[in-house]
Structure 1
Amino acid sequence: MRKLGLAMIGLGPASQPHSKSLVDLSDRVNVHWAASRSSERVNAYGQQFPFRTTTDIQAAINDPAVEAVLVLTPPSSHLEVSQLCFAAGKHVLVEKPLELTLERGEHLVQAANMAGRHLGVVLQHRFRPASLRLRQALEAGELGTVQAAFLSVPWWRPQSYYDEPGRGTLARDGGGVLLTQAIHSLDLFRSLVGVSEVIAADVHTTELHHMETEDYVAALLRLGNGAPGTLMTTTAAYPGYPERIEIIGTNGFASLTGGALHLAFLDGAEEKVEAEGKTGSGASIMDFPHDAHRALITDFVDAITMNRQPLVSGDEALESQRLVAAVLAAGARSPKGAAARSVSGRQKL
């Protein structure tokens, strides 16, 4: 099988699970460049991984041996860096979130379509074994008709995390907990049960953090089939706990906690899928296995070689970003220290 030529742009913390995955996939890919404008990051990265490094991002993108680029830079640069890649005829796999705003995300997807290149997005929770089994159970009707669903992301980030330049700001991250941390679980939740409407939401910053954006979001939702849904996400739940998706069906109940799945059916049957590791819910943000990243990159490589859309395409990620925008539009962020308040502001999707 011919190896796909890759370059990786951005050597911050997000590059770690990707690089480990690319080492594992050495029989499928050739990583020609690992690039960052920061010579300090380039030097540190070169001591950990075997890939050739450079501070010349444009040269890495323009290399004829490079067919696809992993864009792992901050969200505020995704559109511009991806446009450089598309202009050079490269496919792009971009880190979450798609972009800072829904409008910029739409421009990014349009740019990929106009260039005729594949665009994938790193929303790897869809590739966990437990997530795949839950999707299979839903699609096969094993749980019956969905009656209600709940999403909870009780994570923790210390203030030192938000003290890093740009963290938790609109200019760099585009948002707070919903777009930056909970987007993985929100994307999985939406892809499993659908969301047709945001009925009400509260967007709030707790006293545990000093930051521009929100660290707590709650919402009432209408699922794809009209059933009720609820959402709660935060980075103020010390010391951090696994995210959870719960689904009530006419035939049984599903609980997906981190990477572990428990199916309980009304006929008494049960099934469990064990978790493959931690989830990054606490202060150590990269404390999770890279298996799901490896599976997502494998799917992206397959999509290019088979000329099909990646499972998490730009269009799919855009739908999740539309949901984020709808939740934020339905809520009003309370002043710091004020009591949480629900705001009725229905948002159709």
Structure 2
Amino acid sequence: MSNIAIIGTGSIATAHIEAYLAMPEISKIVALADIYPEKAMSVATKYNLEARVVANYQELLNDPTIDAVSICTPPYMHATIAIDFLKAGKHVLVEKPMASSLKECDEMIKASIESQKLLSVVAQNRFMTPIMRLKHVLDQHLIGKIAHTQVDSFWWRGHSYYDLWWRGTWEKEGGGCTLNHAVHHIDMLQWMLGLPTDIFAATSNTLHDNAEVEDLSIAVLRYGNGSLAQVTSSVVHHGEEQQLIFQGEKARVSVPWKVNAQIAKENGFPQEKNDEDLENRIQEAFHQYPELLFEGHKGQINNFLMAIKGNQKLLIDGTEGRKTLELITAIYKSANQGVHVKLPLSADDPFYTREGMLANVKHFYEKQSSVENFSDDTITVGGNYEKL
């Protein structure tokens, strides 16, 4: 049994709390921390939690009854809180994005190594059955060399979304839709294909003049084998349709799941009939991977708890979380400096530190006013997100 503290009780904390509550035989929530303790008390009441509530997470650092923490605060506090708990001997699961800079990521990884405690970064979409199945298909190399990948991270957020005091600021949120929405799809991309060799990107703020950050970005990624990927990150797309499409030498596969394997005629044009044998083999490989018992946050939190017990390997550690942030950081560097960016980014790169990032990014607008909390901060997902 692992005793858990939830740090930050905003909207995303709900997913963590419900996941832990779904596994009462291996976890128990014993503490909640929030700078708005009345919010934490409300959450404790809602879920009937017999948990200690504090306004300052530091009051929990030396609590011997706490084994692990879920960090659900705004991104700018992730590194500080994670390092404090790791040094205090607690395992840490931190929400995406991992941190505000690569330097902070490296400091978190160092603290995990030195404390010999687990550090995991939330990437819950990896723990979806269709995603695991797609990864399995790609690992079988059935579609041949991948030539092109299309990543559409299409979300829609109304103007008031950025009224919340920390959202839409480089200092507190760390970025816009590329970092805080497309992070899921960018993480899946780098997990499936690895990191590219170079990136060129552009960002814009088209519809949210109450945010410093971008609400739309487009990036082109080039890989060592010559293949290209295009990543569109958005909070301006009505319908909120997301997809990852991999175009291979022999076939195309995607999530939501679709397979298509065309055959060329003598003149290079496609035949009317596809390669049904290959399509059937790809379908078989896709469904060969079993349904997951737990999906999304539940899946990742189950893996985190099992890894604490020593019963499973931690699937997403700090190093994996850092890779995704490095890719996103490279997108921001390219968009803000108008240059092709080569990976990896070095420690002397101006975008390696939080201070360097803040000094080099463009403010599309300045926030003129804000609210402390929304009366309803329920997270809704639209489009085909549940099918990923």
**Pairwise TM-score range, normalised by the shorter structure:** 0.7 to 0.9
Whether the aligned pair in 2 keeps the contact of 1:146 and 1:248 (CA below 8 Å) is yes
* Correspondence for 1:301: 305
Deviation at 1:234, TM superposition (A): 1.0
Tell me how far apart the structure 2 counterparts of residues 176 and 106 of structure 1 sit (CA, whole Å): 22
SS at match of 1:62: coil
* Correspondence for 1:263: 259
1:62-98: CA deviation from partner (whole Å, max 9, x where unpaired): 2212111111111111111112211211110001101
Moved more, 128-137 or 226-235: 226-235
Residue identity in the other structure for 1:346? V
Tell me how far apart the structure 2 counterparts of residues 202 and 9 of structure 1 sit (CA, whole Å): 34
Moved more, 16-25 or 102-111: 102-111
Q: How does 1:1-349 map to 2 (within 5 A)?
A: 3-51=1-49, 52-55=51-54, 56-223=56-223, 225-237=225-237, 239-256=238-255, 260-266=256-262, 267-268=275-276, 269=279, 271=283, 291-306=295-310, 310-332=314-336, 343-349=338-344
Whether the aligned pair in 2 keeps the contact of 1:6 and 1:69 (CA below 8 Å) is yes
* Correspondence for 2:353: none
SS at match of 2:314: coil
Residue identity in the other structure for 1:107? E
Tell me how far apart the structure 1 counterparts of residues 84 and 312 of structure 2 sit (CA, whole Å): 22
1:247-304: CA deviation from partner (whole Å, max 9, x where unpaired): 0112311121xxx32233452235488xxxxxxxxxxxxxxxx931000001111222
Whether the aligned pair in 2 keeps the contact of 1:118 and 1:309 (CA below 8 Å) is no
Indicate how the Cα distance of structure 1 residues 43 and 111 shifts in structure 2: closer, same or farther if over 3 A, else same.
same
SS at match of 1:220: strand
Tell me how far apart the structure 1 counterparts of residues 62 and 143 of structure 2 sit (CA, whole Å): 49
Indicate how the Cα distance of structure 1 residues 295 and 128 shifts in structure 2: closer, same or farther if over 3 A, else same.
same
* Correspondence for 1:277: none
SS at match of 1:117: coil
The structure where strand makes up a greater share of residues is 1
Whether the aligned pair in 2 keeps the contact of 1:169 and 1:213 (CA below 8 Å) is yes
SS at match of 2:160: helix
Whether the aligned pair in 1 keeps the contact of 2:87 and 2:111 (CA below 8 Å) is no
Tell me how far apart the structure 2 counterparts of residues 224 and 300 of structure 1 sit (CA, whole Å): 33
Whether the aligned pair in 2 keeps the contact of 1:327 and 1:347 (CA below 8 Å) is no
TM-score of the superposed pair, with normalisation by structure 2: 0.77
Tell me how far apart the structure 1 counterparts of residues 339 and 250 of structure 2 sit (CA, whole Å): 33
Residue identity in the other structure for 2:38? E
Tell me how far apart the structure 1 counterparts of residues 143 and 167 of structure 2 sit (CA, whole Å): 40
Tell me how far apart the structure 1 counterparts of residues 243 and 14 of structure 2 sit (CA, whole Å): 25
Q: Please say which structure displays the higher CA radius of gyration.
A: 2
Indicate how the Cα distance of structure 1 residues 178 and 298 shifts in structure 2: closer, same or farther if over 3 A, else same.
same
Tell me how far apart the structure 2 counterparts of residues 182 and 45 of structure 1 sit (CA, whole Å): 28
TM-score of the superposed pair, with normalisation by structure 1: 0.85
Whether the aligned pair in 2 keeps the contact of 1:54 and 1:60 (CA below 8 Å) is no
Residue identity in the other structure for 2:246? I
Moved more, 293-302 or 78-87: 78-87
Aligned residues: 318
Whether the aligned pair in 1 keeps the contact of 2:75 and 2:98 (CA below 8 Å) is yes
Deviation at 1:307, TM superposition (A): 7.2
SS at match of 2:257: strand
Tell me how far apart the structure 2 counterparts of residues 245 and 209 of structure 1 sit (CA, whole Å): 29
Whether the aligned pair in 1 keeps the contact of 2:195 and 2:323 (CA below 8 Å) is no
**Identity of aligned pairs, percent?**
26
Whether the aligned pair in 2 keeps the contact of 1:196 and 1:222 (CA below 8 Å) is yes
Deviation at 1:240, TM superposition (A): 3.8
1:203-259: CA deviation from partner (whole Å, max 9, x where unpaired): 11114443101111111111354311111111111x341221100112311121xxx
Whether the aligned pair in 1 keeps the contact of 2:207 and 2:215 (CA below 8 Å) is no
Whether the aligned pair in 1 keeps the contact of 2:74 and 2:166 (CA below 8 Å) is no
Deviation at 1:344, TM superposition (A): 4.1
Deviation at 1:57, TM superposition (A): 2.5
Indicate how the Cα distance of structure 1 residues 45 and 224 shifts in structure 2: closer, same or farther if over 3 A, else same.
farther
